[in-house]
Amino acid sequence: MAPNPAHTALWPAPHASEAVAATVHVPGSKSVTNRALVLAALASEPGWLRRPLRSRDTLLMAGALRAMGVGIEETVSSSSAGAGGPDAGGEAWRVLPAGLRGPATVDVGNAGTVMRFLPPVAALADGPVRFDGDPRAYERPLNGVIDALRVLGARIDDDDRGALPLTVHGSGALDGGTVEIDASSSSQFVSALLLSAPRFNQGVEVRHTGSSLPSLPHIRMTVDMLRAVGAQVDTPEAGGEPNVWRVTPGALLGRDLTIEPDLSNAQPFLAAALVTGGRVMIPDWPAHTTQPGDRLREIFTEMGGSCELTDHGLVLTGSGSIHGIDVDLGDVGELTPGIAAVAALADSPSTLRGVSHLRLHETDRLAALTKEINELGGDVTETADGLHIRPRRLHGGIFHTYDDHRMATAGAVIGLAVEGVQIENVATTAKTLPDFPDLWTGMLGV
Ligand SMILES: O=C(O)C1=C[C@@H](OP(=O)(O)O)[C@@H](O)[C@H](O)C1
Ligand SMILES: C=C(OP(=O)(O)O)C(=O)O
């Protein structure tokens, strides 16, 4: 088969000849949008999502829910269209829940949220739902969801690898109950079971038995969003048993939710302020959030920037120096590529820990970052659970991205400081940030 020209196309990453000074409006959060879609689809009344992210991962989620019978109407709303308050204008999705049905086919692309959050929804559908996706999606772990759903009463046909492709034979209802899972390869296993659990006959008790659990803020996001639509959830944090989550069965409310900007997608823009000694403002940065990207305020401050959170948003100002960092990123793994890019440009070495599960993300991110930074003259080594990065003088070259949106944005950050970096397949950023090249050149004023 001839290679897709978009996948081999090279994008000359703009080099910054001066400090950036920009305000960047970052589109909505992937993780919040896809959870909101699932919860709205399972609710007992219509709901609104305002300022949803429209990217490959969220359009795949919306398409899959539509295939199972859910109505999702795209509208340009005004604040009078619902109870969304003064910020509610702009693009919106109105979600009209309906009896979930098969037969249906779901394309998960390479979206972890789609491939993990939807099999439990499909188990509630009346009929078979077939799941398929990109070649890489076949390699990403799904066994935690498949095995758990079988214990909870679902019938699933897979090829015994515990991965895609598979068919969930929905029977219109699922018993639910208690299940043990090892979610050390992805927090999304836990989130997936909790999100649909209010609709299981007995709810769910999820007991995580693995040695570690990545991305805890994403599980908190799941719990907070469930509670916001009326679900009763017991968590380890609320004085419950360690590693045990319980969801009580019950109807979910339709909500009017304005989606926060994607703070992980704000990362390359904030990094630009750090790398060029400039200043970038991200409007609408939430004062309180479960998004892991909020940790950037602390991490980029330690690396040499200073952050100010105002009523208007977050302002990051670079000092002109970038320092190395020794940090456990287990809670915020999706920030690793962007932090590695900044670390490669720092004045001292860095150690990034706690992220062995990144080997099973969009690509093997530890191997990909090591290879691509080293091919530009860097000195990165993989450890058992992360990366050692010793900054070197880098040179231009092709930065391969392996169909990974965060590799592409990491390469763009390096390109700010290093002339002649070309990003392969920058279009892969469409997974979560379709406007990236325009937002990037807009920030730089080129
Ligand atoms: O639940 C979510 O929305 C996510 C959880 C995390 O997954 P893992 O726990 O698999 O790392 C994160 O990396 C991913 O980008 C989004
Ligand atoms: C790991 C990521 O995505 P996914 O939701 O596909 O797991 C990511 O966006 O960095």
ipTM for this model:
0.99
Q: How far apart are CA 168 and CA 120, in angstroms?
A: 9
Q: What percent of the chain has pLDDT over 70?
A: 96
User: Does pLDDT of 419 surpass 70?
Assistant: yes
Mean pLDDT of the region 429-440: 97
Per residue, the 3-state secondary structure of 330-378, as one string, reads HHHHHHHHHHHHHHCCCCCCEEEECCHHHHHCCCCHHHHHHHHHHHCCC
Give the residue among 130, 228, 245 at the shortest CA–CA distance from 183: 245
78 pLDDT above the threshold of 80: no
When pLDDT is averaged across residues 172-193 and rounded to a whole number, the result is 98
Q: Which residues are annotated as a binding site for 3-phosphoshikimate?
A: 30-31, 35, 186-188, 215, 334, 361
Per-residue model confidence (pLDDT) at position 84: 39
Average pLDDT over residues 401-416: 98
Nearest atom in ligand 1 to 360's CA: 10
Average pLDDT, the chain: 95
Reported as a pLDDT band with limits 50, 70 and 90, residue 90 is low
Q: How far, in Å, CA of 24 to CA of 433, rounded?
A: 13
- Are 117 and 35 in contact by the 8 Å Cβ rule? The answer is yes
Residue bearing the CA closest to ligand 2, atom 9: 334
Residue written as tokens 């860097």?
378
Determine if ligand 2 sits within 6 Å of the CB of residue 112.
yes
**Residue 89 in this model has a pLDDT that exceeds 80:** no
Residue nearest to atom 10 of ligand 2 (CA): 334
Ligand 2: residue whose CA is nearest its atom 8: 334
Q: Does ligand 2 lie within 6 Å of residue 192's CB atom? A: no
Taken as a whole, the chain contains a residue count of 446
pLDDT of residue 83: 40
Taking a C-beta distance cutoff of 8 angstroms, is the pair 127, 104 a contact?
yes
Closest Cα to atom 14, ligand 1: which residue? 334
CA Rg value for the chain: 21
Q: Model pTM?
A: 0.96
In 3D, which of 244, 291, 268, 248 has the Cα closest to residue 414?
A: 268
Which comes out higher in pLDDT, residue 84 or 380? 380
Chain center to CA of 305: 24
User: pLDDT band at residue 296, thresholds of 50, 70 and 90?
Assistant: very high
Ligand 1: residues with CB < 6 A are 31, 112-113, 186-188, 191, 214-215, 218, 333-334, 357
What confidence category does residue 15 fall into, taking pLDDT thresholds of 50, 70 and 90? Answer: very high
111 Cβ inside 6 Å of ligand 2: yes
Q: Which of 31, 189, 362 for mutating ligand 2's site (highest number of atoms within 8 Å of CB)?
A: 362
